[in-house]
Each structure stands twice: as structure tokens, then as C-alpha cells.
Chain A
Amino acid sequence: MVKRKVAALEKIDADFASLQYKIRRDPKSYKDDFLKQWEQYEAQREIFFMSPTTAAADSVESFHNMIDLIAHVADCYPEETQTFPDDLKAIVSQNHETLHHELRDKVVGSLVLLRRKEVIDSTSLLTTLFPILVSSRSKSMREMLFQKILSDMRNSNSKSTNHPLNRTIQAVLYNLVTADRASPRAIWAIKLTRELWKRQVWTDAKPVDVMKEACLADNEKVIIGAVRFFLGGDKEREELEDESSDEEIDLAKVKHQITINKKSRKQKEAYKKAVDKVKRQEKKKSKPHPLNFSALHLLHDPQEFADQLFTKHLQSTKNKLSLDTKLLVLQLITRLVGLHKLTIVPLYSWFIKYLTPKQQSVTSILASLAQGVHNLVPPDALEPLIQKIANEFVSEASASEVAAVGLNAIREICSRQSLAMTETLLQDLVQYRKSKDKGVMMAAKGLLSLYREVGAEMLKKRDRGKDAAMGLSSGLMKQRKFGEEEVGGIEGLDLLAKWKEEQRKRKRAEKGLPEDGSDASDDEKDKDEDGFNSDEWEVGSEDSSDSGEWINVEHSSDEDEPAPKKRKGEEDGDEDNAEDEAAELERMTKLATTTILTPADLAKLQELRAAASVQKAMGGKFRKRQQQNPDGPTHADDGLTAENIEAPIRLRKLTKEEKVALAKEGKPDRDEHKSTQAIRKSKKDAAGKSTSNREKQRKKNFLMTLGKAKSKQKRSLIETRKVLKGHVERSTRGGRRRNDQEREIDKFDVEQIKQHVASVKL
């Protein structure tokens, strides 16, 4: 639509912008003009509706202008423009396929404008736009509509959650997904849900339900979209949150900028905005963290869902999903199985035919398999799988990468269900630790160390290692039976107990009491003195003192009255390390079961935990062990990926670029060959920082230094002494000059001289 040239006079005449401005400034006075324009709009609408498809460019343009004008002033005349929103809705929903694109965009934009002016509500806007989004064939239109819908959803949820609107839209999306499972339209429901999930507008179970239904669709695109949401939606959400919290504003810098540059209203506003943002960020920080469950946890009836997914997309021979899609679905199913400990027995036998080295993306399949194993899977179902992996992958004849992958996969499976392994196979596989290939060797060692922890008796005696052998002989270490659960504890609780004990000892030492004594009155006194004491919070302080009594490893002679039984345990602990550990364990659990942990305790616990983890990361010994056991630091909720299975291979097969990148990591950026000093300096310059005193000295103009050098030679003895003394004085104060130092030294000198003179006279 090329705009027709308008003559200068006419421009003044038919200036919609100025009319709009005048109307908005004084709606009452310009009502007549508005009514005229309203009539004009009606006439244009009539003309337009006469033939919406073949309207001339001129009539389209004038209609476009009228809509624009009316939409902008609609809030000034609510009575007269009552029918306007409905008109627009009718126009766009009936004719969106045939409308001129600019007019179409204008109508949609006007509707959104009316929403912003609160002439219409979000529900009516979204229920108009969404069907168009779903059915439109124009890509640009869909893009725009999606943006508008999304921004409107965000806006209406920005101040507080708009529950009725969310419910309506979620119901619309749900219906869209479930109405026709074969149609690709549901992709819009997925896109919208995913976006709103990412931005934490929707965090409840309903959108998850929408996605769940979408997973069970027949259209491949829809399936992929929905499955990807479950696999990556939460991570995306976390990343976005991190990103938004990263950007911080330096208020001081903004303020400083204002003092330098010209003062203008724009700058003032920018400053105000920055202050607002900082305030908002601070408020956000002090707010309690919103409790966001991951989509996988919000699923209703995961067993049913996983069953349906499996039977529909994997087991049935009829569907024509591509391998990639199948892998994604498989990942989701196994993730669900592992996370919720579901039981889908046919799943494991389904894997059998895919477990060959020639299978495409077999590492991902292996990862899925391992991910889908948990301690309640019957070992019988897994045994043939492990056997098959061992046969197919792990042999002297197969390539070393293949063998490493197989061993890693077996280790991952067995770390989740150790009972699936047979003794002979294990002993066989462990032999590979002598392999010349590093990947295979590491994988086999990983398996070995795993079984040293979870099933040492299956290993040959010489493979068991010291800890396991001792544990076995003392009976402390036992292979867990099927379905047996580990006794849970609180991470770092032992650290807290230890810390508490130390505190107590220290306090007693301060008072001159024997370190190990215990009486209630003592404890109470402690409380009175020490404000920080967390015991104040405790309900059963007697219990804590009791528990504190017998822990002490140090045995002192003037101990009052320790219980005999406990004392016996203590002596045993001196003798046997394992016994001591057991006692530790008991003590640990006791702290949690006998006392109520106060907020102060919990804060301390957190602190101790963090300190311990730092220490772990620093200590070389521990680090090594952690590297060997890669699934140590990962959380149980996180899925297993193909990389975990392939990891050691990756180490070996680095390309040169990757190696260089690895080496460069954490080092200063080096574009050209320069000294580190030079790089640092250029960085400093770039950051706008000033030079150091030393540098200033070095760079000082030679001629300026001449005068001082000359005068130095002419100095008298006294002057020289003064300077030297001043230097010494300053060096004791860290090189800083005091304001009136010179003068003081002068006084000091004069007095000294006087004294000197007097002494000479005497």
C-alpha cells in the first residue's frame, strides 16, 4: 500500500494525528468531530464489508486510518464506541485470511491497544486471537499474534496471578490438544505453555497436564515439542531466572555519569528507572524463593502416563515415528520410570533388540536404559540386558571405545540396581582394568569401585580392597537385598554435632572446668552468657547435653559419671575403627531424633555443609575419588545423558581445537603476544581506571623532576634529616602522609635542637 501523495493544504486538513491529539486532550469539546469520524468509520466499514476481498488500496488505507484513530480515542467515549471492539473482532476473525496484511495487523494491534486501555478484558482478547493464531496460514501473522498473546498473558499476570484468565486459557489449550490428536495445531498450545512455563507465569499442574496430553498426540511435531518440554523445560526456566538475576546495575556509576554529562530530563528519568530496578531487585532478593516444582514432579499419575507413552509410541508397531523422536520419547519414559520408580516390565525386554554396537545413537539408548533403572526393578528383567551388553560390547575383539561404552553403561545400570549383576560376569568384566586403553581401563575401574561399595562379596578376594574387606569381615558391610531401603539421614548433620561438641568444650575450658564434664546448671549458665548460643532455641536441652556426654573421644580421668554402657562403646571405638563409625552414625541420627533443629542450627548446618564442600573441592585426595565416580555430584533428579556414558572416550578423542580451548579456559584473553603486564594494563585502561602512583612517578616529565633534583643537592643537613625522618615515620604508617605532618616534625626538631644545645652548654 503505497501512500498517495497529499497536497500540503490537504495535509493540514486531514490530519488524523492532530485530531487524535486534540480529542485525547479535551474529549468533551471535540465530541462533534469525533462523532463525525465515527460516522466516517461506519461508512468505511460498510464499504469495506461490501467486498472485503477486493477492496481497493485507497479504501483499505482510509479504513486503516479510521480504525487507528477510533482505537486511540475509544476510551474517551466509551458509550459511543461500545460496538467498536466487537466490530474489530468480527472483522479479524471472519476475514483474517483475506484481509490486506497491514489492515489485519492494524486491527489486531488496535484490539491489543483496547486491551491496554482496559476497554476490553484479556479473556475476550485472547479468545479472539487464539483461534486465529491456530488457523492462520500467514507466518508473519502467526508470529505477531503469538507475541501479542504472550505479552498480554505476561502483563495480566505481572502484578498478581490472574487465576480466572489462566484457567480459561489453560482450558482452551487443553481442549485444543485433546480435540484433534492428529492435527499439528496443538503445536501452538505447546509453544505458549512452554513460554509461560519458562517465564514462571504458569507453575502449577494444569499446564503440565496440557503437555502430558500433547505427548500422547499422533502428530510427530506435537509429540516432539511436548516431550522436549518435559526433558528441558525446567532447565530453561532456571537458566532464564539466573540470567535475569545476573544483570545488576551499578547505581554509583549512573550517578557519577549524571554529574559528568549534561543534565537532562532523560538522564534523570534513566536514573529513576535504575533506582527502581535496583529496589525491585532487592525486594525480589528478600522475598522467599518461590517453590517451583519441576514439570516431572507435577505430573498426575505418572505410571499411567508412562505406560501410555510406551505402548503408544514405542511398543506399537504401527506408528511411524523417526528414530530421533523415539529416542526422545524413550528418554522421557525412562526419566519418569527412574524418577518416580515406576514399574514397566515390558520396557526392559523392548531394549534388547537395540543393544548392539551398530545401532544408531546407541549411547543415548544405553543412557536411557540406565536412567530407567531403579532399585525396585526386578533383577531378573535386567540380567539378560546386562549379559547382552557384555556380549555385544565388551570383548577383546571389539573396539576400545565400544568396550568402554559397554562397561560404562553396565556400571550405570548396576549403580542403580546392583543385584542385576552375576558374580562370574562381574569378575570377568573387572579384568578389563588391566586393559591398555585408558577409556576401557577407567570404565572397568569404575565398575570395580562401585562393587567394592555395593556388593563386595561378589568380587574376588584380592579385588575387594582394604575398606571393603574390613567391612565384610566386621559384618558392617552387607549387600542390600531387593527392595531394601537405605536409612536416610540429614546431610552434614554429623558436622553440626561435631561443631556443637567443640563449642561446648571451648566454653567449659573458658570457665576452667574439665572439658568433658556435664551438668545441667552449667549448661544453663552457658546460655545466659552466650547470646549466640543456639541452645536457646532448643526445647529439650537436657537431651542434647546427654548426647554430648558420651561422644567425647578424649578420655579424661576426672570425668564425673558417664553411663557405663556408653563408655564401653567408647572404648570399643578406640579399638575398632569400624565400630567407631557405627557409633558416629548412631550419634548423628540421634541428634536429629532427640532434638528439634532450630533455625539457627539449620543456618549453621548450611554453613558447615558449604565449608565442607569447599574443603572437598580443595583436597586432592577427595577430588580424585569424585572424578572416578562421575555420578557422585549429580542429583538423583537429573537425567542421564549419552555424554555420561561416553565421557572417557571424549577425553581421549579431543581435537586440537578442543584441547586449545580447554587449556585456555580460565586464562586471560590473549589476542596478540604481549606480556601479562601489558595485557593487564590495557584491561585497566579499557575499564577507565587510573594509573598507580608508581606509574605516575615513572612517567613524570623529566624537566619537572630536574628542579627537585637540584634542590636536593643544596639541602642542609637538618633538612636532609627531616626528610629522612619523615620517610621513616611514614613507612611505619604504611606510607601515608598526614595532613600536618611536616609542621609537627618541624616543632619536634626545634625542641630537639634546643635540648641538644642545652646539653652541650652543660
Chain B
Amino acid sequence: MGSSARKKAEKKKDFQKPKYKVGKAKPKASNFTDTSFKSKAIVMNQQSLSTIAPDVVQQFKHNLSLASSSRSDKQRRDALAYLTSQLSSHPPVNPVGTNILLSKLLPLISDSSTPVRSQLLKLLRTLPEDEAKHSTEQAIMFIRAGMTHLSADISGDSLGVMEWLLDVAEDELVTIPGGWVKTLSTFCVTMGWSLSSAAPGWTSAPRTGLRAKDAQTLARQISTLSRFLQAGLKSETAAAPGPEEYWDNLYRLPRSSNAFEYLNLLGSRRDEEGEMYPNREARQQVFYRRFFDPVTKGIEKVKKEGGAAGRAAVGLDQVLKDGMGDYAASAGMDAQDLLNLW
């Protein structure tokens, strides 16, 4: 049943003989392949012919490119795991160098898949500290982007990367251009401590927005911020002047990557945010002017809420007292004041 006329006809078609006609070309077979074209080159899409297995360097590079640009998140994670194992072996295998490795992998801070991000953090931990230092400027950009990401998971995980960076290069972090002010404002924004003075007489409810911030994240943010502030506001002790320092200053080549960066000879003109704050006093000054009020207000608010976040806020308060205790508000002429005069 159900075999319609159409189906019958279809069946029949298979057994029909083709009709040949005089003066007409023979009909082409159904599996006919046109071979009339001529080509000088044949392009093969996938080809992996090699008599020898890829060496370690090749494999490393391949995995690096997979990790940075593969479409599948599993592949990315696996590639990262491979890289981690290579880097943590003794002696560590790193044919491309930490700097290039970081520049390829740092965009993964805002990766959409959680396993990839956690694997990335593991990889970062295996990197040698003194080499990772030089990529601080690049790293902090991606971390800032990650911290302000719309997705809560990503912004939470990027706090972990921030902690790594604080472990690795806290001095560089607070002195590089934009490292101090921009990072601070990112912290304030993520915690919802508004920087701009709102219209007088109106206060916005603290927990409006897309989703209620859970206390856990807030506590973590506050503790990271307190570490960051600690790094920036810790008292500096001048190194004891060595006998050769004077001559070194005059005749030896500087060892750091961009020794005269503070002069900003080649870059574009920096504003207050992008400026370098090389010493504690400068950092204190700008912190006092821009962040002190919102941060103290925020601390008060969180303290009242108590819990894990409240405890973290107490810690932050302590850091603030230690760091800013010796700061006198009118400590002298500020560069910004001079600029404003202009």
C-alpha cells in the first residue's frame, strides 16, 4: 500500500534503457565526470604529509596557534594544557619566549569558556616571573578588559589573573603608564563605587543594575583591590647608594626594556589617566584627589553589610590607613594643577 504512481514510476526509471537517437550525442552517464579541463596545479585542501614526526618546537608553535585562535573551546583548552605541561617541565620548553607567548595568550582572559580561562591561569602561574614582568603593560590592559566584561564569570576569573600579576610584578604594575589610575577606576566601576559626583540630593540604590552582585565576588574584588593598593602605597625605602652608582648612571647602558619611558619621547601625549606615577607620593596624591572619597564611602557601605565582604572591607580599610596615613593633602604643587592653570 501507499506505493503511488509516482513511486512506481521512480522504480521503473532505474530499469529503463536509455534511448539513443540518430544524430544526437550519447546521453551522459549519471556518474560522468567532466575531465575536459586542464589544470597546471592541483590544490589540496588538507594535506599533512611528512616522513618525520613534528619536532617539539613545531608542536609547541602549533599548539600555541591552536590555543589562541581555535574555534573549538575544547581544542583551546587542550592546547593550553599542552603548553602548560611543556612550560612546567624541567627545564621548561619555551621556544618562542615569554613575551610572544603572553601576547598571544592574554586575549584569552576574556574567553567565553570557563575551562579555558582556568587553564590559562594555570599556564600563567608556570611562567617565569622575571620574564613575565616585561609584559605587564600588555597584561594589565587585557585584565582591565576582562574585569569590566559583561559576563560575571569572566570578570571574576580575571581577578585571578590580576592576583597573578600582583604576585609577579606589583612594582611595575603600579608604575607603568595608566597602571595606577586606570586600574583603580576599573576597580571602582566594577564594584559600583561611583566616581562621578552624582547630582546632590539624589542617591541611587546601591544594588540596581543587571544582577545583584553576590557577596563572594565583592569580597574577592575588595581583597584584590586591597592588595593592589598595598602594592601602590607601600612605603618605599631608598636603596643604599652604592659606590659605583654614580658612574653606572653616567656610563652604563640601562638594563630595563624602556628605560626612558617616563620622558614619553615617542608616544602620544598622556592625560591624567594614562600618566606614569613612578613614586609613592605621586600615587598618593592622585589617589587622594580622585579615589579617596568613593573608596572610603564604599568601604563604609560594605562594612555595614558585614559578612565576607565586610571582613574584606575591614582589611581594605586597614590598608588604606597604612598607605594614606602619612599623606598631607596639600603636599605641594601638583603637576595636574599646573596643567589646569594652562
Contact = CB atoms under 8 A, between A and B. Distances in A.
Contacts of B194: 31-32, 35
Interface in B128-163: 138, 141-142, 144-145, 148-153
B192 interface: yes
B151 A43 contact: no
Contacts of B149: 14, 40
Contacts of B141: 43, 46-47, 50
B209 interface: yes
A582 interface: no
Given A28-B204, A43-B186, A13 B150 contact: yes
A40 B150 contact: yes
A564 B190 CA distance: 109
B56 interface: no
Interface residues of B, number: 33
B284 interface: no
A240 B137 CA distance: 59
Contacts of B138: 50
Interface stretch (A55-63, A223-231, A446-454, A663-671): A55-63
B118 to A, nearest CB: 15
B107 A44 contact: no
B150 A29 contact: no
A6 interface: yes
A10 B178 CA distance: 30
B208 A43 contact: no
B112 A36 contact: no
- Which residue of B71, B148, B151 has the most chain A CB atoms within 10 A of its CB atom? B148
Given A6-B112, A36-B190, A43-B186, A29 B208 contact: yes
A545 interface: no
B148 A36 contact: yes
B69 A56 contact: yes
A510 B150 CA distance: 94
A29 B150 CA distance: 16
B210 interface: yes
B209 A37 contact: no
Contacts of B186: 39, 43
A22 interface: yes
A14 B151 contact: yes
A5 B111 CA distance: 12
A269 interface: no
Contact of B204 (A14, A22, A29, A56): A29
A485 to B, nearest CB: 70
Given A16-B150, A40-B150, A29 B145 contact: no
Contacts of A6: 112
A7 interface: yes
Interface string B178-222: 100010011001101011100000001100111000000000000
Given A36-B148, A47-B141, A13 B68 contact: no
Nearest to B110: A62
Nearest to B69: A56
- Which residue of A5, A33, A59 has the most chain B CB atoms within 10 A of its CB atom? A33
B148 A29 contact: no
A493 B68 CA distance: 88
B112 A7 contact: yes
A350 interface: no
Contacts of A32: 189, 192, 194, 204, 208-209
A13 B208 contact: no
Contacts of A59: 107
Contacts of B153: 10, 13
A58 B107 contact: yes
A47 B151 CA distance: 19
A14 B113 CA distance: 13
A519 interface: no
A581 interface: no
B5 to A, nearest CB: 35
Interface string A4-20: 11110010011110010
A22 B210 contact: yes
B142 A47 contact: yes
Contacts of A30: 208-210
A241 interface: no
Contact of A13 (B110, B144, B152, B204): B152
B71 A56 contact: no
Given A47-B142, A59-B107, A39 B148 contact: yes
Contact of A19 (B150, B190, B208): B150
A33 B210 contact: yes
Contact of A43 (B144, B195, B204, B210): B144
Top-9 shortest CB links A-B: A43-B145, A40-B148, A39-B148, A43-B144, A13-B151, A14-B150, A29-B208, A32-B192, A14-B151
8 contacts: A5-B71, A7-B113, A35-B195, A36-B190, A47-B107, A47-B141, A56-B69, A80-B196
Interface of A: 2, 4-7, 10, 13-16, 19, 22, 28-33, 35-40, 42-44, 46-47, 50, 56-59, 62, 79-80
Given A13-B151, A29-B205, A56-B69, 7 more contacts: A13-B153, A14-B112, A14-B149, A35-B189, A37-B148, A39-B148, A50-B141
